[in-house]
Chain A
Amino acid sequence: MAKENKEVLLQVQGLKQHFPIKGSRNVIRAVDGVSFDLYKGETLGLVGESGCGKSTTVRAIDQLYRPTAGNVLFEGVDLATLKQKPLIAARKNMQMVFQDPYGSLNPRMTVSQILSEPLQIYSQRKIINMTKEEISRRVDELMEIVGLSRFFKNRYPHEFSGGQKQRIGIGRALALNPKLLLLDEPVSALDVSIQAQVLNLLDDLQKEFDLTYLFIAHDLAVVEHISDRVAVMYLGIIAELSPANDLYVEPLHPYTQALLSAVPIPDPKIERTRERIVLEGDVPSPDTERHGCYFYDRCPKRMEKCKGSIPELKAVKGDHQVACFLYE
């Protein structure tokens, strides 16, 4: 990635996504104030444990949920306030790939129908202009791009393996030539040997089509491999955001430190000598408003100050941002 001429593609400002709880005045604060910039051509990894709001963040960016608060500026246009029609037009440049390749493909449609559906919808709405023949040619092209033989295009999803299904999902996301791909755990359902194939494919596609990725995963090693920068989420906020290399060499936030130390490394000699930071307890429920640091209950380095006020995400070393009072 060219670091010099950073052009911002997506700007997320103070994004909040709350969900009501039936019969209660409390709300689930799935995303509780997330801000970051996404530069053109980069891959930003979003990591965190289940329930930390990774997926909700991405869905709120794509406006699959309408955010409770905050702005999502895509090429300067705030998607959060757009009406349905211009929103659909804007989504052409922003496509999603989902975790479960089984669940995200319609079992009653052939691959050819799956890949052409976005093209047909956007043609009908006159956002793009493609004839039937052009669409059919594009389908063949897409099959080739994601590494599937075009002779398989009349088959149904169940005839493909998990890795191949994920390739179809990626093909569908690429159909409209988007600028940004929102990848929600695209490789977690796959076996290791297949996971490597799909990660390599994503790498190739990014170079070939000048794509920008927002990549969610709970597997930290995968995220380190594919990302230029990584944001660590905890309980609906970003705890730390930094260039991938810095984060793994020198994690600053106590949560990131614990998270990284918990990842098993496939080398028995290293495993035996590693020190683990074991966190006490579980992630608390996100249904209460917090007035102190979100990590306070479980932090091994908590101070008096952390109880009463919320640390902001601030750059401490170059691009390395962290939300923690230890670095004030």
Chain B
Amino acid sequence: MENKTILEVKDLKTYFRTDAGIVKAVDGVSFRLDKGETLGLVGESGSGKSVTNMSIMKLIPMPPGKIVGGEVLLDGVDILKLNEKEMSRIRGNRISMIFQDPMTALNPYLRISTQLIETIRLHQGLDKAEARKKAIEMLKLVGIPAAERRIDAYPHQFSGGMRQRVMIAIALSCNPEILIADEPTTALDVTIQAQILDLIKDLSEKLETAVIMITHDLGVVAGMCDNVCVMYAGRIVERAPVDDLFESPKHPYTNGLIQSIPRLDEKGSGRLFSIDGQPPNVIDLPECCPFHPRCEKAMDVCTRKYPPVVSLEGKREVACWLYEENK
């Protein structure tokens, strides 16, 4: 597999203006996505995972939101500078997205066929009959039985797992280079989750799509991703290949997160490890490590300055004072 970077996010900052102050939902996020790679973006609610990806798609409601800084380079072109018309040619065509809740992401008033054919015709300029043929082909690809008949059904006639399959069919219908999957299985049961994850994995390999997988479930990350970024309070605190991350988490937060999940394959032995305290409010966050009030290894410097990103061996990066030589 050639290691060609197709998407590069540099120091992305997205803020929201609220009555209580400025919410720095994403505050200096940088990462790279290579062709064919599956990148995991994990973090708890409010850590900025979704806002990062909405910013990439330029789907942030403005106002109150605003992308105040940074670059998103798709094949070297900064898409944040594109106008709405140029952007709409990228959305759904080169970068596609699937959402957490397949019921609200599909229009309940329109047949599946209308929604699928609309996307295909818009981006690929096929005529109606051709687009319909392609749509049926896509539904077959995602494993919908009797696709010829089911294509004219409405979203409510499908189960949750089937709806998510339809979403995936729509998202992949234009052969995008990048698929952003925002908690695609959170609303689904485990057995259905397993089916959908397998499907995303198979199709991304078959169609050579790079995937950004947003999730809070470390189990999903372990099974799906090549590389992982861990987010906390609007920033990436650690980035590592998936095996290394689980084997030797560097950031105290990552470590706490991995330790605090009960595991099926290990006998429950009394108390769970838990990270004390609450995730911080990202309104007017002071210039310090946002994790320091909950960190076991907090030092004096952590309360004063945000840690720089330190590169470690094996393509790893961590934002923590523990790894910085000159404090």
Contact = CB atoms under 8 A, between A and B. Distances in A.
A191 to B, nearest CB: 4
A221 B268 CA distance: 9
Interface stretch (B29-37, B173-181, B270-278): B270-278
Interface string A185-217: 000000111111101100100000000000000
Contact of B246 (A163, A220, A261, A268): A268
B263 A264 contact: no
Contacts, number: 128
B159, B191, B193 — which one has the most chain A CB atoms within 10 A of its CB? B191
Contact of A264 (B217, B272, B274, B278): B217
Contacts of A268: 222-223, 242-243, 246
Contact of B189 (A196, A203, A218): A218
Nearest to B218: A266
Contacts of B220: 264
Given A192-B261, A225-B268, A276-B198, A49 B243 contact: no
A262 to B, nearest CB: 4
Contacts of A203: 270-271
Interface in A34-91: 49-50
Contact of A197 (B189, B270, B274): B274
A225 B262 contact: yes
Contact of A267 (B193, B195, B246, B256): B246
A312 interface: no
A220 B219 CA distance: 12
Contacts of A271: 219, 222-223
B107 interface: no
A316 interface: no
A198 to B, nearest CB: 9
B260 A248 contact: no
Nearest to A197: B274
A218 B222 contact: no
Given A191-B45, A282-B161, A49 B191 contact: yes
A309 to B, nearest CB: 25
A50 B193 CA distance: 12
A164 to B, nearest CB: 8
A201 B180 CA distance: 37
A266 B258 contact: yes
Nearest to B270: A203
A145 interface: no
B216 interface: yes
A interface, over-half SS? helix
B272 A200 contact: yes
A224 B262 contact: yes
A192 B257 CA distance: 7
Given A276-B198, A278-B195, A264 B222 contact: yes
Nearest to B192: A282
Contacts of A291: none
A199 B262 contact: yes
B260 A192 contact: yes
A203 B242 CA distance: 32
Interface in B235-283: 242-243, 246, 256-258, 260-265, 267-268, 270-276, 278-279
A12 interface: no
A267 B161 CA distance: 25
A181 B242 CA distance: 39
B261 A262 contact: no
A262 B193 contact: yes
B216 A266 contact: no
A224 B264 contact: yes
- Which 4 interchain pairs have the tightest Cβ spacing? A264-B219, A225-B262, A196-B274, A49-B189
17 contacts: A191-B45, A192-B44, A192-B257, A192-B260, A196-B261, A196-B275, A203-B270, A220-B190, A221-B263, A225-B262, A259-B190, A262-B191, A264-B222, A266-B219, A266-B221, A266-B246, A268-B246
Given A191-B45, A265-B265, 17 more contacts: A193-B275, A194-B278, A196-B275, A221-B262, A221-B263, A224-B264, A225-B268, A259-B191, A262-B190, A263-B264, A264-B219, A264-B220, A264-B223, A270-B222, A271-B219, A278-B198, A282-B192
